Chain A
């Protein structure tokens, strides 16, 4: 069964960084593309970016481009999202998900709550 398992909740101060992990089970990680999406409380889903695992190519929304690092470790089938220069508006649940044909997103990780507070 295809599954993504994310790391636990994080609390950070403004100006610092956070790194969220996403481990894949039950599918060929090296042939996948992992996307990251976030959701502020009660708000719509917001696409952050993606990484093509095999090539390492990345793409991200313009608003994140200067402070986002997407990476993978194929030896552990794990993807990482690092977001720098955190601000209070980065407080949200962050999801990883796998991109399939026609751009469908499935499966999804359980989500990681990142709280940015002084």
Chain B
């Protein structure tokens, strides 16, 4: 199975800050990397697919980059509604594993 490691596990930042979350995989997955946002008590919501493509309807302050085994999710200017847990997921090979999540809070 492909192991997914996110860092940091938790993060606290000010409104307006630039925030970066990293996801590393145990083997190369080309660009088959997706990012999801999950707010408390809600289902996950797709933000980024194919490592860098923004899902329709997602604000442009969210962006993704990377390839191979290292990927990043960036929020260019943090807003209060971005408080959530963020997960990466590889869709390269079964089982389609997820990272452990990064909990994002506002300072």
Query: Chain A: residues with CB nearer than 8 A to chain B?
Result: 35, 37, 44-47, 59, 61-62, 95, 97, 99-106, 108-111
Instruction: Report the 8 A-B pairs with minimum CB-CB distance, sorted nearest first.
Output: A103-B91, A104-B49, A108-B43, A106-B46, A45-B98, A61-B95, A102-B50, A47-B96
Interface status of B36 (Cβ within 8 A of chain A): yes
Query: Chain B: residues with CB nearer than 8 A to chain A?
Result: 31-32, 34, 36, 43-46, 49-50, 53, 55, 87, 89, 91-92, 94-101
* B residues less than 8 Å from A35 (CB atoms): 96
Alpha-carbon distance A35/B95, docked complex (angstroms): 11
* A residues less than 8 Å from B94 (CB atoms): 47, 59, 61
Q: Are A104 and B91 in contact (CB under 8 A)?
A: yes
Alpha-carbon distance A89/B99, docked complex (angstroms): 20
Q: Are B95 and A45 in contact (CB under 8 A)?
A: no
